[in-house]
Amino acid sequence: MTNEMSDMSEIEAGKVKLTDERFLLQKLLEEIQDTFIQKIRNKNLDFRIQLLDDCHLISDRRRLKQILINLVDNAVKFTEKGSITIVGDTTRKRSVILTVADTGIGIKKEQVAALFNPCHRPDLPLKQTSREAGMRLYLSQKLARLMGGEITVESLYGKGSRFSLFIPRKRTGSDADGRSAVV
């Protein structure tokens, strides 16, 4: 939580430094899976990565991983049975869509619009840290936008949620040499 607060302060002050590099999407998704494998096994959840074809991205790998960890962490926290799937749609020329879908508790329709608000505290039936989940979604959306992308959400209460991250294959203003940009 302390790291998220620090990141939010940097974002609000316009001092976030993005460091672009070329990397394989599949490798990053496997790292995400490895991060959560024990929690997933403990809850007896099915976890899948569906990626039609691997691709290279030129973006801030660390920040993209941070966003995906936040989305998968929420999915694991709020899914008691069933599955979590990361789908990578690499069919577009200029962007990639990464969707984290779960069969968890879902989100009430009236709460979806406020999900990315820093003060949002969702009304959750599970005993979870709702404040932390709200802060991470806010931070993830801010980071996604700084990287030229955006997060959208679709959810059915009691059925599950789908968080989709639209991200450019090559971040605007970056180059293949991995130069940094301060935004």
pLDDT tens, residue by residue, 134-176: 688 999 999 999 999 999 999 999 999 999 999 999 987 654 4
pLDDT tens, residue by residue, 77-100: 999 999 999 999 998 889 999 999
Asked if residue 127 belongs to a domain, the reply is yes
CATH of the domain at 81: 3.30.565.10
The one-character DSSP state at 16 is P
Q: Residue 154: CB partners within 8 Å, gap ≥ 6?
A: 161, 162, 164
Amino acid at 5: M
Asked if residue 179 belongs to a domain, the reply is no
Residue span of the structural domain in which 126 resides = 2-173
Asked if residue 182 belongs to a domain, the reply is no
Asked if residue 122 belongs to a domain, the reply is yes
pLDDT at 172: 72
Average pLDDT over residues 15-37: 94
Number of domains in the chain: 1
Q: Are 85 and 48 in contact (CB under 8 A)?
A: yes
Asked if residue 180 belongs to a domain, the reply is no
